């Protein structure tokens, strides 16, 4: 494989993990989050700090980074217990800006310059090749899908769907909504943490600008355009939105316009996305529903 | 079930609920014996649903106590009330609209797993659980609809679905908030039969109802609320002849003219 | 020094108020987070800029930027938001973000990515006020912002439309029962709110003497924080929140030179308010 293609596929893999993680929060538990890039940033920065400043090994740093991300993710998910829907959407936007600002204005995190020299994983004594990194990424993608699958068919998944449909009624049948909302944020953050490790390690260099609000919008768009509350939807959404700019490289100047237009047109005419409930793809496969 | 031992399962003591300056409940006392079918009636705005909201934990009372099986459960959140065995339905139905009938009831059946993080991650569509839930669906006449998405059911069946969901909690008390409203006569008969059946199994039933004939037929004891206060309580025959009750209802009619 | 900061803070706050009030009015009637409102603001800035370049008539620029912005606002509400009302709020929200990106990109493709400025000599006078001074542009921005807010006050508090607007914001179905045409009220609300955003765009363009496609980015998100602080849908809560944010930004960073990220301040303020009073500043106005 060419190095361009490998890089593209690795990027795609990271976004699949991010989108699947956000789907647990948005699609399964029905909590709007427009700050997912903040969780991604926390994973990436934790990993970068642990490897460069504390010289911990790749694996140990990785495990700690996920734990830190989940921990902070749970704290940042706490507003979901207090505010709903529109307020939550705006609060999570705020979280994105604030987390980004913390990384940007704290010298410990490298300030606006970011952090460099983040190590690549090793295989024995040798550095990973890009192909090996690609395999590592897709092993993680596989696990992300597996956990999503297990979650969706578990009691916790059922409880989350119930909360999404009607929070009060779910409370009335013995579901503690707070517990499962926090669980969704914890799982979503774990995914973001893993994607953060992959990103920091693969790029070798991270800066606050990598985790802007626009990135959060892109991740949420992958979930919604692909079709929330499914596994194939966010995966497809990530593949689509990552490959579109590459496909449209010849008309690079129009890329963002196409992106904006795609969001608008999908939401206006196909709000459940390509693979969501009653989505366009299902209708094409089996045109008549009995 | 023989009710010679008149143990009280639910005791409500001097409950007060205030919204801003308005008093929705103004010192209500109720004692519900185990195994009873207990009716709560009263004109609109009398505070009946507010009372249910207090018992089921949706509202914390401004003052007063709720005892369940002798234990103080005042102000517990709904999922705790559900866990100790209080199930309820809503006046305006609230099914989990995107889930199937089966999943709706399973969601309530899962109450026994939710507090354990390991069990929470187990597959919920196992045969054992489904068989248990199928029994409940059969009893409530929903078995033919078990794979239908809840939002597509007619109102009568959505009301049954709420009862089925409450039953999946293995409750000792269920609160029916106007479950008969909007039903046809035959549906009402079927639902009455279901209520009597549940009561035979030992479940205490609390009913809020506007339909007097049904209330009088089903309930052993009826409490009448008006303006947040209990104005009468007794057997159906006494209630219909109580001058205060007549005034409360007729007074309302006079107000309309 | 303090007087200067106060004037600067009020000027910025006044512009924040213009854009946020439109946003909060829209939220009030449709319960939609109208991110594309900042796109309308950019449209207003460009309309004003080009009108002024061609005519050298500032009054005409103002009128046209209001009219064009109102037109786009109504377009968005009629063809995108109205059909999406039945879906969960995340659907119109993403659609709105899509519109916002499309507007900014469309403008960039048509007018180019570079910063454009007004032809020289627009309000170049200076006025002294004790130790502080006011530039002509600043005075214009300050005066016009508050004039338009005053007009808005009259419309919402003293006219029949104002009453209808409040009814629809409270409960659309009830308003319909009271034979208020909620669709018309919504359209007028969008027209007024978008016109205000257009003025804000033009005034910011004049104030900083720069108009560029991405100028809506920060206002888009900052105004969201402001309307939360003001209590979503509450016009006067939003007004005070906007002034407060303008002052806090100017004073904390300008005077005390605390090294805080200016553009995150509004969100930090918002989260503090949410922790203390989830309903925002609106509690100040609901008691009446």
Which pLDDT does position B254 carry in this prediction?
A: 45
* CB-CB neighbours of C126 under 10 Å: 11
pLDDT given for residue B16 in this prediction:
92
B91-150 residue pLDDT tens: 999 999 999 999 999 999 999 999 988 999 999 999 999 999 999 999 999 999 999 999
- Answer yes or no: is pLDDT of B251 > 90: no
**pLDDT tens, C41-58?**
999 999 999 999 999 899
Q: What is the spatial distance between Cα C228 and Cα C210, in angstroms, rounded to a whole number?
A: 28
Whether the CB-CB separation of A175 and A162 falls below 8 Å is answered with: yes
Three-state SS sequence of C195-215:
HHHHHHHHHHHHHHCCECHHH
Check whether C131 has a pLDDT greater than 80. Answer: no
**E strand or H helix at A87, and its extent?**
helix A85-105
Please name the member of C88, C95, C264 whose beta carbon is closest to the beta carbon of A101. Answer: C264
Tell me what pLDDT residue B139 has.
93
Cβ atoms of residues C70 and C198 within 8 Å? yes
Q: Which positions in chain C touch A90 (Cβ < 8 Å)?
A: 33, 224-225, 228, 270
CA of A187, closest CA in chain C: separation in Å? 21
The pLDDT of residue B210 is above 50: yes
| The predicted structure's pLDDT at residue B257 | 31
Mutate to test the interface with C, among A265, A268, A269, A276 (most CBs of C within 10 A): A268
The CATH label, of 1.10.3470, 3.30.160, 1.10.357, 2.60.120, for the domain at C2-286 is: 1.10.3470
From CA B178, how far away is CA B49, in angstroms rounded? 9
Q: Is the pLDDT of residue C222 over 50?
A: yes
Q: Is A283 on the interface with C (CB under 8 A)?
A: no
If you average pLDDT over residues B227-241, what whole number do you get?
87
Structure tokens at B40: 């709560």
Q: Which residues of A touch C264 (CB under 8 A)?
A: 97-98, 100-101
Q: What is the pLDDT of residue C259?
A: 63
Question: For chain A, what are the domain ranges?
Answer: 3-285
Reduce the secondary structure of B4-61 to three states and give it as a string.
Answer: CCCCEEEEEEEEEEEECCEEEEEEEEEEEECCCEEEEECCCCCCHHHHHHHHCCCCCC
What is d(CA C194, CA C68) in angstroms, rounded to the nearest whole number?
9
Contacts of C105 in chain A (CB under 8 A): 254, 256-257, 260
Q: How does residue C5 score in pLDDT terms, banded at 50, 70 and 90? A: confident
pLDDT at B86 > cutoff 70: yes
Residue B247 phi/psi, 5-degree rounding, is: -65, -45
Whether A166 and B113 lie within 8 Å, measured CB to CB: no
What residues in A contact B124, CB-CB < 8 Å?
153-155, 157-158
Rounded to a whole number of angstroms, the distance from the CA of B180 to the nearest CA of chain A is 19
| pLDDT for residue B171 is more than 80 | yes
Q: Which chains touch C (3 or more CB pairs under 8 A)?
A: A
How confident is the prediction for chain C on average, in pLDDT? 87
pLDDT above 70 coverage of chain C, percent: 93
Question: Ranked by mean pLDDT, which of A10-19, A119-128, B244-253 comes out on top?
Answer: A10-19
Indicate whether A146 pLDDT > 60: yes
Q: Does domain A3-285 have CATH number 1.20.950?
A: no
Strand, helix or coil at B182?
coil
For residue B229, how many other CB atoms are within 10 A of its CB? 15
Q: What is the mean pLDDT of residues B196-202?
A: 93
Q: Give the tokens for residue B58.
A: 């949706």
Q: Do chains B and C touch (3 or more CB pairs under 8 A)?
A: no
Residue C233 has pLDDT above 80, yes or no: yes
Q: List the single range of A81-85, C101-105, C133-137 with lowest mean pLDDT.
A: A81-85
Average pLDDT across chain A, whole number: 92
Token pair recorded at residue C272: 């503090």
Give the one of A156, A174, A183 whose C-beta lies nearest to B79's C-beta: A174
pLDDT tens, position by position, B55-75: 999 999 999 999 999 999 999
| Amino acid A252: pLDDT | 81
pLDDT of residue A158: 97
Q: Which residue has the higher pLDDT, C128 or C144?
A: C144
Best probe of the C interface among A104, A237, A254, A257, by most C CBs < 10 A, is: A257
Residue spans of the domains in chain B: they are 8-256
What average pLDDT does this structure show over C193-203?
Answer: 94
d(CA B183, CA B194): 14
- % of residues, chain A, pLDDT over 70: 98
Of the listed ranges A60-64, B225-229, B250-254, C166-170, the least confidently predicted one is B250-254
CB atoms within 10 A of CB C125: 10
The answer to whether A197 and A65 have CB atoms below 8 angstroms apart is yes
- Which residue from A minimizes the CA distance to C231? A87
pLDDT tens across C109-128, in order? 999 999 999 887 677 777 77
pLDDT given for residue B209 in this prediction? 87
At C175 the pLDDT is: 76
Mean of the pLDDT values across residues A17-46? 96
C88 to chain A: nearest residue by CA? A85
Smallest Cβ distance to B58: which of A158, A168, A176? A168
Is residue A245 packed enough to be buried (19+ CB in 10 Å), middle (13-18) or exposed (0-12)? middle
CB A45 within 8 A of CB A193: no
Q: Which residue has the tokens 């700690």?
A: A64
| Distance set, CA A92 to CA A104, A185, C164, C228, C271 (Å) | 18, 12, 33, 12, 10
Shortest alpha-carbon distance between residue A267 and chain C (Å): 5
- The answer to whether residue C53 neighbours chain A at the CB level (below 8 Å) is no
Of A162, A172, A180, the CB nearest to B99: A162
Residue B2: its pLDDT value, please? 45
| pLDDT (tens digit per residue) in A257-272 | 999 999 999 999 999 9
pLDDT at A287: 61
Q: Does residue A251 sit at the C interface (CB-CB below 8 Å)?
A: no
Cα B86 from Cα B71, distance rounded (Å): 13
Residue B4 in this model has a pLDDT that exceeds 80: no
Tell me the shortest Cα–Cα distance from A23 to chain C, in angstroms. 13
CB A24 within 8 A of CB A188: yes
Chain B residues closer than 8 Å to A179 by CB:
114
Q: Is domain B8-256 in CATH 3.40.30.10, yes or no?
A: no
């Amino acid at each position: 494989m060419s190095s361009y293609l490998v890089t593209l596929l690795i990027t795609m893999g990271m976004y699949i993990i991010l989108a699947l993680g956000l789907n647990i929060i948005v699609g399964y538990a029905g909590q709007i989050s427009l700050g997912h890039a903040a969780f991604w940033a926390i994973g990436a920065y934790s990993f970068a700090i642990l490897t460069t400043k504390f010289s911990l090994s790749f694996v140990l740093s990785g495990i700690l980074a996920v734990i830190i991300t989940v921990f902070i993710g749970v704290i940042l998910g706490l507003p979901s217990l207090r505010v709903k829907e529109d307020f939550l959407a705006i609060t999570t936007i705020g979280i994105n800006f604030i987390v980004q600002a913390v990384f940007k204005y704290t010298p410990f995190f490298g300030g606006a310059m970011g952090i460099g020299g983040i190590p690549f994983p090793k295989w024995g004594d040798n550095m990973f090749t890009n192909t090996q990194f690609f395999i590592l990424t897709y092993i993680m993608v596989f696990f992300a899908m597996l956990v999503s699958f297990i979650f969706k068919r578990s009691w916790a998944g059922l409880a989350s769907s119930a909360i999404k449909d009607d929070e009060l009624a779910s409370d009335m049948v013995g579901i503690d909504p707070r517990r499962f909302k926090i669980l969704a944020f914890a799982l979503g953050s774990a995914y973001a943490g893993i994607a953060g490790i992959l990103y920091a390690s693969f790029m070798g260099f991270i800066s606050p600008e990598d985790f802007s609000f626009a990135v959060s919008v892109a991740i949420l768009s992958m979930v919604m355009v692909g079709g929330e509350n499914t596994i194939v939807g966010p995966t497809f959404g990530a593949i689509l939105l990552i490959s579109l700019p590459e496909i449209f490289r010849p008309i690079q100047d129009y890329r963002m316009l196409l992106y904006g237009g795609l969001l608008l047109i999908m939401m206006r005419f196909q709000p459940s996305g390509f693979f969501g409930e009653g989505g366009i793809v299902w209708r094409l496969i089996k045109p008549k529903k009995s | 079930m023989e009710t010679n031992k008149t143990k009280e399962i639910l005791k409500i003591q001097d409950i007060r609920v205030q919204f801003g300056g308005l008093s929705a409940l103004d010192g209500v006392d109720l004692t519900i014996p185990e195994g009873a079918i207990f009716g709560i009636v009263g004109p609109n705005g009398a505070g009946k649903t507010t009372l249910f909201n207090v018992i089921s934990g949706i509202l914390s009372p401004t003052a007063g106590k709720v005892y369940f099986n002798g234990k103080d459960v005042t102000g517990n959140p709904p999922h705790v009330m559900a866990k100790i065995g209080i199930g309820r339905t809503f006046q305006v139905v609230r099914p989990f609209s995107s889930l199937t009938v089966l999943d709706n009831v399973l969601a309530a059946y899962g109450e026994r797993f939710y507090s354990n993080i390991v069990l929470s991650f187990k597959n919920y569509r196992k045969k054992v659980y489904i068989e248990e839930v199928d029994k409940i669906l059969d009893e409530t006449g929903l078995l033919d609809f078990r794979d239908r998405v809840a939002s597509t059911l007619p109102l009568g069946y959505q009301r049954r679905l709420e009862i089925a969901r409450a039953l999946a909690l293995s409750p000792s008390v269920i609160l029916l908030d106007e479950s008969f409203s909007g039903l046809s006569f035959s549906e009402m008969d079927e639902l009455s039969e279901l209520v009597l059946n549940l009561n035979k199994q030992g479940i205490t039933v609390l009913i809020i109802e506007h339909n007097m004939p049904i209330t009088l037929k089903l309930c052993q004891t009826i409490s009448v609320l008006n303006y947040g206060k209990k104005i009468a309580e007794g057997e159906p025959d006494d209630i219909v002849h109580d001058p205060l009750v007549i005034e409360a209802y007729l007074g309302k009619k006079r107000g309309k003219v | 020094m303090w007087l200067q900061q106060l004037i600067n803070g009020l000027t910025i706050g006044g512009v924040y108020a213009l854009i946020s009030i439109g946003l909060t009015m829209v939220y009030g009637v449709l319960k939609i987070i109208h991110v594309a409102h900042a796109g309308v603001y950019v449209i207003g800035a460009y309309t004003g800029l080009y009108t002024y370049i061609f005519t050298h008539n500032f009054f005409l620029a103002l009128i046209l930027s209001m009219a064009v912005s109102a037109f786009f606002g109504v377009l968005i509400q009629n063809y995108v938001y109205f059909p999406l009302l039945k879906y969960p709020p995340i659907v119109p929200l993403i659609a709105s973000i899509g519109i916002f990106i499309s507007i900014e990109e469309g403008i960039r493709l048509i007018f180019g990515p570079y910063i454009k400025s007004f032809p020289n000599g627009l309000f170049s006078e200076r006025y002294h006020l004790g130790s502080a001074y006011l530039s002509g542009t600043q005075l214009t921005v300050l005066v016009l912002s508050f004039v338009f807010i005053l007009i808005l006050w009259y419309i919402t508090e003293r006219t029949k439309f104002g009453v209808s607007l409040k009814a629809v914001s409270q409960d659309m179905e009830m308003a319909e029962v009271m034979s208020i045409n909620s669709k018309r009220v919504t359209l007028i609300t969008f027209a007024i709110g978008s016109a205000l955003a257009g003025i804000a765009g033009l005034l910011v363009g004049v104030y900083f003497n720069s108009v560029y496609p991405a100028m809506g980015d920060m206002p888009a998100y900052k105004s969201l924080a402001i309307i939360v602080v003001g209590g979503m849908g509450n016009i006067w809560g939003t007004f005070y929140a906007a002034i407060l944010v303008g002052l806090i930004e100017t004073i904390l960073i300008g005077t005390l030179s605390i090294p805080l990220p200016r553009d995150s301040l509004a969100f930090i303020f918002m989260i503090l308010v949410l922790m203390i009073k989830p309903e925002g500043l609106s509690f100040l106005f609901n008691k009446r």
